[in-house]
Amino acid sequence: MDGNGRRRRGVVAWTAAALLAATPGVAVATGNTPPTRPVAEDLRTGSAPCAAGEAARYLGSEPVLRLVLRDPDAYSQVSGEIEVWWAGADGTGERRTLTTHAAPSGSTFTLSPSFAVPSGTRVSWRARAVDQHGERSAWSDEAGGHACEFIMDTDRPGTVTVTSDHYREDAGWQDGVGVHGGFTFDSPSDDVVAYRYHFSDGTYSTVEPEEMGGPAAIRFMPRKQGPDHLTVQAVDRAGNAGSQTTFRFLVDKGRAPVAHWRLADASAGTGPALRAEDGVTFVDTAPFGTGLTGSARLDGKGGGYLTPDAPVADTGKTFAVGGWVRPGTTGRAMTVASQDAADGTSAFTLGLRPAGDGGAEWSFAFGGATVAGGGPETGDWAHVLGVFDTEDDTVGLYVNGRPAGGRVKAGPVAAPGAFQLGRARGEGGQRWQGDLADVRVWDRVVVPEEAAELAGQQPQDLGRWDFESVTDGPVPGGAGGPLTPHGGATVFREPEDDCWWNPDCVPPPPALVGAAHLELDGSTGHAATEGPVVDTSGSFTASVQVRLADAEPAGPMTVLSQGGEHGDAFKVRYDPAGKAWQLVMTDGEGPDATETVAARVVLPDGGRGDGHQISVVHDDAADRILLHVDGVEAASASFDAPWAAGGPLQVGRGRTGGGWGEYLHGAVDNVQVFTGVVDGSRIPLLRW
């Protein structure tokens, strides 16, 4: 008990000492160390370090003073005293004192002085720490320190003048998309450190003059035709922004190519006439959805080329070259286009080169640089485009309208020799084997939006089957012949008389689209065309409106498919195990075929409602499949191994284990199939 008593008396004694230590003005037996003098590193004016003289910061608004205060004693509380002074307008000194609350040692204190300071005035401030016993540190500007300074400047800079070496303000349509122009900004104020500007796209940027108060220049290349405007304001060293200046101008469309050969025959196009050698024939094959009607077929041998026997591209300046190409092989380097240099080589080559993985890739080589990317496929059309831009001395490559391989630095190379299609100087000529169409050469940058448009292929409507015009039998609609119901497939048509006057009538669910749809019994019911509808090895889009009859389907059910004798190239099905609609693509029809699936969870309909619009896209150029549900992209997956299925389009069933199965129990309407990729913005319109 005596031991416990001694411990209790010790605790009481410690507590009393602590209370005495915490009471200002009360002396304690233990020693107290004064707080630490704040140093310049502990003080900041706003976000800027403490500085003086030429390094003092200019402020355009009320200053924010920040300081860190410390005391070496454990558990100490510290507060701060700040002195602020400046010379008044009449030359007399002005001084203010500020104090902070108390906080633990090492805390950061922030103060915003409320007193007004005249613009153009240099203000100094210093600080010291005060501990909980009232002891003070030295001032921050004592013992080798210095005061912190800032200059108040609330005057806004003058209005900016905007001039251009290329555009005139309000002066009609001016060249144009893909052409660089310059703008110069200048302000009458001598303390401007930046110009803030934006064009009509709303993206803000900043450019700094070479020296304070001087002009600044920017370069600009428009990417679309139409009215544009440039808005600029000057910013001074205190952060004050001046009033805005707006420069309005009209951007014309991009200049036409300097040469454009459609290649339906040797004379089709503009620019210098081409000479076709004996290894060139003209065929009626062309990429679909482009409006082209033919192409030049090159045999890959010595006479397989075309040339105007003259230069076309001025390679000392910005230029671009591109066209539609279909390689007959991808096993070697081949040239689409080139132009002869003075040293017996080609100044540039656009074409195919072997890739490190044993395959091939598209490439554009110029000025000691090569940019490459995108995987070609034998027999498939692709659009390739190479661009050299002297503005930043870079080369770029687009494949099917998408950038490939990034931008690579290059240098201009003179090419006084002839332009070539299908061959290049040196390296065996790299003769092109395959088809070429719609080759163009520009004397400007082809912007990304134009590259995408050049590579665009309008989807072709292969067929649309609804059930409005029939009560039974084949349904006409498009490619592959009519869609004929079989087995337990019947056409449902909404009755003309409704149940309004019959209290005993139970109305059936409404038709999916219009007044009729196809009902499938889930056992034998299906419909099929007479032959294949779409080439499943290329890009295609398919869409259907479907309503499931069951709230808990017994097994997977296929609503659309097209395949061969033993398997489906694609199928659209509902999988009740995952409660999801799926787009399934396979890399072959044998038993070892691998499935690629894009899926979206959607609860079964149970025979109620309007069903769902299920749309699927195979984008062969991008090696992707996409699943849309009710007009919204719901899932996607990479897929690069399509094959051409020769069987008819099936509605309501698919191949399972070599036979037929996955019969759909539900309603189907508005079946549509397209060659090509229907843009995502148009998918919702297919519902109607």
Beta bridge partners of 365: 349, 370
- Given a cut of 90, is residue 506 above it in pLDDT? no
**CA–CA distance, 490 with 475 (Å, rounded to integer):** 12
pLDDT in tens, 580-599: 999 999 999 888 899 999 99
Q: Comparing 321-335, 356-370, 375-389, which segment has the lowest mean pLDDT? A: 356-370
Q: What sign results for the dihedral spanned by CA atoms 597, 600, 605, 609?
A: negative
| % of the chain at pLDDT higher than 90 | 75
**pLDDT computed for residue 7 by the predictor:** 38
How confident is the model over 84-102, as a mean pLDDT?
A: 88
- 659: Cβ–Cβ under 8 A, 6 or more apart, which residues? none
**pLDDT computed for residue 51 by the predictor:** 94
pLDDT in tens, 349-360: 999 998 877 789
pLDDT in tens, 433-474: 999 999 999 999 999 999 999 999 999 999 999 888 887 889
b (16+ CB within 10 A) / e for 459-478: beebbebbbeebeeeebebb
Mean pLDDT of the chain: 90
**pLDDT computed for residue 480 by the predictor:** 85
**pLDDT computed for residue 23 by the predictor:** 39
- Given a cut of 90, is residue 325 above it in pLDDT? yes
**pLDDT computed for residue 30 by the predictor:** 56
Q: Are 568 and 586 in contact (CB under 8 A)?
A: yes
**pLDDT computed for residue 6 by the predictor:** 40
**pLDDT computed for residue 510 by the predictor:** 82
- Given a cut of 90, is residue 507 above it in pLDDT? no
pLDDT classification of 344: cutoffs 50, 70, 90: confident
Which SS3 state, helix, strand or coil, does residue 560 take?
strand
**CA–CA distance, 112 with 127 (Å, rounded to integer):** 14
Q: Are 346 and 425 in contact (CB under 8 A)?
A: yes
How confident is the model over 391-400, as a mean pLDDT?
A: 96
| CA-based nearest residue to 176, from 452, 451, 443, 453 | 443
**pLDDT computed for residue 500 by the predictor:** 61
**pLDDT computed for residue 336 by the predictor:** 98
Q: Are 150 and 195 in contact (CB under 8 A)?
A: no
- Given a cut of 90, is residue 558 above it in pLDDT? yes
Residue whose entry in the numeric block shows the structure tokens 């940027």? 205
